Structure 1
């Protein structure tokens, strides 16, 4: 029956697609061309705004989606041969100042009074662009994928201004046509507008959206109707060179000076397809990873932060599940230089999307690591109203070995390849979502020629949320450029949740969630499970509480140190059972002082006990300074030889935004478990749109009994030349 599950999912998907009518087709706003000048100053006094259509009468989405928004919002749009123009006015009936976190670009959605525009130029309800601002003028922009997910790592050239008084705030923007991708000759785009008003705890939308979905959900967009087709896109070429100088110093007194140049080239091959080239890329300005307490038996996932790999990343990185990724870009170029790379990505017409990536890394004479080429091809076809079928091919090829011998070819195989096919289900009303995929790996010795298959389906209405998932990963499946921390198992997971909605009082919703998660080996013998009973409470002021009980069982598949500190390991095959209790609380984001806390108390391996406490505090002097700190404490009590083990993880961050173009951030982290201290400080000046000057200081130190310290300071300049 497990093998039939993916086919059952696809059959069910066909039935769900019978009603493919766009939900908010009747919400239409006309945009007409103007020949009058518009000054982007946040003041609605330009003659060009007279006579434009007005998008108003917004619908409330949260706390409840049964009424119109309390406060009035008005959106107007027009365009000329170069830009799309938008002006938005947001009235404020609740006295007091606006809530903003900082002036930093791509702010946290839930912590700011904000306005967001969602554009679907292909009207396919799956991909698009988002732009917006908070009430202090910090910009937001990103690409959209998978029907409502947003990638904020994408930056483009556009301008905006915000003005405000006690009664209202006004946002005005000019978006160049060449900054986005769209199909030539199309006169209807998908569009929606979203507002978050924290004083009234209301999120609202121009079109009606069920509260369980984000306002970014492209299934619920209205229609932007052009009086004539937007201008035919012209050739667009951008050159973004960089130059840097860096000084590095280690504990042994060695000092290293380095200068480096390189850059990126962006070329618009068509109105919807973009080619990106990078030569000798540098990522020294990228934030360091957030340290975590590691008590997991398998490899931990750390997100990609390097810009080149992030734009249109969904075409490559979203194939599979979080725990089964055939492509994971952090396998490329960490600890070894990248010589060059290219990425071709975008839309091929209304239904097709293409992604091609090729990266060449250098060799390392000391370790024997050869030069390696990483190639990825992703092709995606939209089917029915919003679902997609995807094909992925990943190739890692080793060339130019420093020494040509068999041992190096064993350590660094000649190649590793993955081929995958995936179906993504998204119903027209977004209530049903799911996925089914099949992966096959190829290696030179055929010992890594395994398969993986998985499928899931989820239903999400206002009151009910349930889903079921199965996975199978062959013990011989090999993805050297992927993230597959566990192999040789079957997994079955199911959950069901229900929400109750009180008619009045401080609680907006509450309800239980039950989760069953079981693992079996390839002979269908159970190896571990986790059963969870959870209760969620959401308050009208946007704070929340979660309470849950856990029942866990583990049969170890390999030796494991339960403290993660290098002490003795439990033996393979030993069995462990325990129960535990967890809680989490998040305060209301409107407060200047915010806080959250979570904890765990209960059993652990070898009849032991584990106590974990985590807290996070934040304070902001809006809109310029945001302070935050987090602290984590673990106390593990086990029999001899482990006895009692306790360790702390402490982090603190200072984020100063002098203006919406000048930023300073410092992150300090101390991890007692891994005996590591690090400091990362970064000053960024965006002196022109998409052009930056960075000054970065890093200090990483290993504490006793380990030894090692490296600090560096980097000055980096980038400039965006546009043609």
Structure 2
């Protein structure tokens, strides 16, 4: 097998081959477009929105008792996606839609033959409510089959939302073969739910000001999905097949009859004020009382294109990152949590490469995870015709040794055919002078990506092709934004077949020796990679307790730019089982070869000395076991064990997680991660602990907290937050943080001293005009 992979790599390594692949695939427009094909096996259903007239109004209480609801014809007759694809849903659902000049209203009746069996643990805004019975829906406001808004609620009235982009998520009612939902987006809308002997019901109001849309359209895409969690049942109104799903706007139904909607003047002002107390014992002036104020402005240039301005931006309420222990020689990636960079972020998404992104917003306003003040920022995001546009300009202030910097990001995507797109991206990072150094040359990055998709391959199967090309200027000398050097460039292609029973892809990419985009992310450079993957997931009908088996093979084959083997990873999933209860179990083996050209420090120890892995070739074999119980239960857990050869020795690692939900809205969680490593160069262990607690008094008032410790940083961190959603878009926060440094060098012993401590209060209020 290794000789075959090596031969394939040498063959693919020629850039002409990748170029020829693209040339051959692009003219196959009929395959990707589907313009002359019928709408598909689902034949989109439609539902008419009824306009409220005169003094009619909806009182949002979850009870559909207003006469107006009886004027609407409901969407019903949902079909199962799981467990019995295409069969009628076992519980009846009815969806009614009304609207007036300013708002869209949904009324939902979710009948249940066992109302006492309804599950609703979650009360947190934007919670992952796959633990609960839930109702989900999407709105494709441009009827383009590729972008949209996602919403969901549960019997407790939780509001969770997100953005769909680049073709959605697809496959599996709550899962994703492709793009997941960007759930960090928080729209301004309201939902109320109530329960009764019939089951449960919900009323929803979505202001049109919250949505970007094309006012010339009287029809939108819309789809609905329902989860009955005790049955582990997912049903949909449209696009019920497992290769489709709620997150694929192209398979949505139609919402008709829309006209005369208003976004008002399109202006939204959100001032904020923050005050607090901070204690930094190591600084010359350890105690301070910081206060600040700022403003966020949003303006709808058109109903589908929004501009934003933020002045003196503050992120006091942003939650701390989850601690991670890194035993590799490459950097880790952390998700964005700041609202300014999350709003409209879908348009900035670039070709899907797990090892590279030309734009990573966490490179702005953060240095070694320490916040840098943002003086101002501007953003333009939205659509016009067949184009998606995105622009960001941010200036960060001087902070300690970090000089003032300006960041520019521009992105344009044009839709192709029915589900595809082509795009370009440009970034610029301009660093000012410091006391010691003059200003370096501006750093420019350019990129191109192509994304071809069809959901009608071989009738009803998904097929994807992606290609990208990125390059940047020499960071030392200013050689012009259009100059191209192989050392500062990267490119790649991927062919994917993301479907339910058979799921596979093959990708090739190359990264220059000095490739390092200034506002981007790259795990390593100076290599070529060939990565094939295949998964077979049959659904046995003869074993009632098992919903699906999974067997997979994932290979990474990396060479340097002279085609010398650097890394070969063969990940073999011996078996995976998805149980009907919602639990999961898998086991596999990993064979790894690493050619280490430079030594690296895997463990720092001030007492016994650092442990350094020397240059050499390393071939190892290990195994893993992973499992989790059904998340719908009041006590749920997960486990992962990794064992086997590791560099010059052996490693045993395990992760254990436990979640308790004694009452609706209350959860207590604990996680433990430990690695015992024994090497020829020395032995060491790492420990990480995490405790979390949440008390959601109502969907509008909550108290959350976390306590984390790892013995690599030797920092114990406490984070606690009170949040009151005064009304959608307006919040009051109280945040307390406390970080301690552990001075005791002995494992699992503590001699704590305060490293930093702070209290912050913040209020923001949204005014809409």
TM-score (norm 1): 0.95
- Say whether the 8 Å CA contact 2:351–2:450 is kept in structure 1: no
Q: Which runs of 5+ in 1 are unaligned?
A: none
1:616 and 2:668 aligned: no
| Matches of 1:130 and 1:343, distance apart in 2 | 22
Q: Does 1:605 align with 2:629?
A: no
Matched ranges for 1:65-144 at <5 A: 65-94=85-114, 96-144=116-164
1:252-305 deviations in Å (ceiling 9; x for gaps): 582111111112111111110011110011111101010012101101111111
Instruction: Go from structure 1 to structure 2 and tell me whether the alpha carbon gap of 1:325 and 1:565 turns closer, same or farther (over 3 Å shift).
Output: farther
Give secondary structure in 2 for the equivalent of 1:50.
Answer: helix
Change (3 A) 1:94 1:117: same
Pairwise CA distance, 1:74: 0.7
- Compute the displacement of 1:413 (Å): 2.6
Q: 1:358 is matched with which residue? A: 393
The 2-side partners of 1:561 and 1:202 are apart by 49
SS at match of 1:104: coil
Change (3 A) 1:109 1:214: farther
User: How far does residue 166 in structure 1 lie from its aligned partner after superposition?
Assistant: 3.8
Q: Is the 8 A contact 1:418 1:442 kept in 2?
A: yes
- 1:693 is aligned, of 722, 727, 732, to 732
Residue matched to 2:200: 169
Aligned to 1:247: 277
Judge which range, 185-194 or 20-29, deviates more. Answer: 20-29
Instruction: Please give the secondary structure, in 1, of the residue aligned with 2:302.
Output: coil
Answering whether residue 237 of structure 2 is matched by residue 209 of structure 1, we say: no
Distance 1:545 1:159, change over 3 A: same
Q: Counterparts of 1:546 and 1:633 in 2: how far apart (Å)?
A: 20
Which whole-Å CA distance do the structure 2 matches of 1:685 and 1:232 have between them?
A: 29
What secondary structure, in the 3-state scheme, does the structure 1 residue paired with 2:415 have? strand
Question: Residue 229 of structure 1 aligns with which residue?
Answer: 259
Superposed displacement of residue 340, structure 1: 0.2
User: Per the alignment, do residues 688 and 95 of structure 1 end up closer, same or farther by CA in structure 2, a change over 3 Å counting?
Assistant: closer
Q: Which moved more, 1:1-10 or 1:628-637?
A: 1-10
1:29 to 2:69 alignment: no
Query: Residue 315 and residue 7 in structure 1: after superposition, are their counterparts in 2 closer, same or farther (change >3 A)?
Result: farther
Aligned to 1:11, the other structure's residue is in SS state helix
User: Which residues of 2 match residues 224-373 of structure 1 at below 5 A?
Assistant: 224-226=255-257, 228-231=258-261, 233-252=263-282, 254-334=286-366, 335-349=371-385, 351-364=386-399, 366-367=400-401, 369-373=402-406
Q: 1:25: how far off?
A: 4.2
2:666 aligned with 1:631? no
Residue of structure 2 in register with 1:473 after alignment: 511
Q: 1:319 to 1:533 in 2, by over 3 A?
A: closer
Deviations 1:223-245 (A, max 9, x none): 1111x534254421111111111
Cα displacement string for residues 57-80 of structure 1 (whole angstroms, at most 9, x for unaligned residues)? 101112242312111111111212
Q: Write out per-residue CA displacement over residues 490-513 of structure 1, whole angstroms, 9 at most, x where no aligned residue.
A: 011001111221114100110310
| Partner SS state of residue 116, structure 2 | coil
Where in structure 2 are the equivalents of 1:513-524 lying within 5 Å?
513-524=552-563
- Deviates further, 377-386 or 444-453: 444-453
Q: 2:466 aligns with which of 431, 435, 447?
A: 435
| Deviations, residues 406-428 of structure 1 (Å, cap 9, x unaligned) | xx24xx63211100010012214
Matches within 5 A, 1:629-708: 629-639=670-680, 641-642=681-682, 644-704=683-743
Choose which of 222, 240, 244 in structure 2 pairs with 1:191.
Answer: 222
The alpha-carbon distance between structure 1 residues 557 and 660, as it changes in their structure 2 partners (threshold 3 A), is: same
Aligned to 1:547: 587
C-alpha distance in 1 between matches for 2:187 and 2:500: 35
Question: How many residues of Structure 1 are paired with residues of Structure 2 in the alignment?
Answer: 710
Return the alpha-carbon distance in structure 2 between the equivalents of residues 180 and 121 of structure 1. Answer: 8
Answer yes or no: is 1:577 the counterpart of 2:619: yes
Distance in 1, matches of 2:23 and 2:503, equals 20
> What is the deviation of 1:9?
4.3
Q: Single out whichever of 4-13 and 59-68 deviates more from structure 2.
A: 4-13
Q: Distance in 1 between matches of 2:22 and 2:240?
A: 26
Alignment correspondent of 1:559: 599
Q: Deviations over 1:580-608 (max 9, x none)?
A: 010100101121000000101100111x1
Instruction: Write the deviation string for residues 163-203 of structure 1: whole angstroms up to 9, x where unpaired.
Output: 11243100111212122111012112111001111011101
CA distance in 2, matches of 1:91, 1:695: 40
Contact 2:620 2:645 in 1 (8 A): yes
Q: Distance in 2 between matches of 1:318 and 1:697?
A: 36
8 Å CA contact retained: 1:453, 1:472: yes
- Residues in 1 aligned to 2:673 and 2:695: alpha-carbon distance in whole angstroms: 25
In the TM superposition, what is the alpha-carbon distance from 1:102 to its structure 2 partner?
A: 2.0
2:759 to 703, 713, 718: 713
Q: Distance in 2 between matches of 1:66 and 1:197?
A: 16
Structure 1 equivalent of residue 443 of structure 2 = 416
- Rounded to whole Å, the distance in 1 between the matches of 2:302 and 2:115 is 49
Deviation, structure 1 residue 251: 3.1
Aligned-pair CA distance for 1:39: 1.9
Deviation string, structure 1 residues 354-374 (Cα, Å, up to 9, x no partner)? 00000001124x52x332110
In structure 2, runs of 5+ residues without a counterpart are 1-10, 169-179, 480-484, 746-752
Report SS of the residue matched to 2:206. strand
Contact 1:9 1:457 in 2 (8 A): no
Decide whether the 8 Å contact of 2:239 with 2:246 is kept in 1: no
Listed one character per residue, the Cα deviations across residues 670-695 of structure 1 (whole Å, up to 9, x for unaligned) are: 10122121010000111222111111
SS of residue matched to 1:96 = helix
> What secondary structure, in the 3-state scheme, does the structure 1 residue paired with 2:723 have?
strand
Structure 1 residues 459-513: Cα deviation after superposition (integer angstroms, max 9, x where no partner)? 0222101110111000122312111120100011001111221114100110310
Match of 1:386 in 2: 419
Query: Residues of 2 paired with 1:158 and 1:674: CA distance?
Result: 41
Q: How does 1:395-414 map to 2 (within 5 A)?
A: 395-399=428-432, 401-403=433-435, 408-409=437-438, 413-414=440-441
Alignment partners' CA distance in 2, 1:39 and 1:90: 19
Q: Distance in 1 between matches of 2:236 and 2:164?
A: 17
Name the TM-score, length of structure 2 as normaliser: 0.89
CA contact (8 A) 1:6 1:436 kept: no
Q: 2:6 maps to what in 1?
A: none
Deviation at 1:446, TM superposition (A): 6.1
Contact 2:446 2:470 in 1 (8 A): yes
- 1-structure distance, mates of 2:665, 2:508: 47
Q: Distance in 2 between matches of 1:592 and 1:571?
A: 44
3-state SS in 1 of match to 2:336:
coil
Q: Is contact 2:271–2:293 with CA below 8 Å preserved after alignment?
A: yes
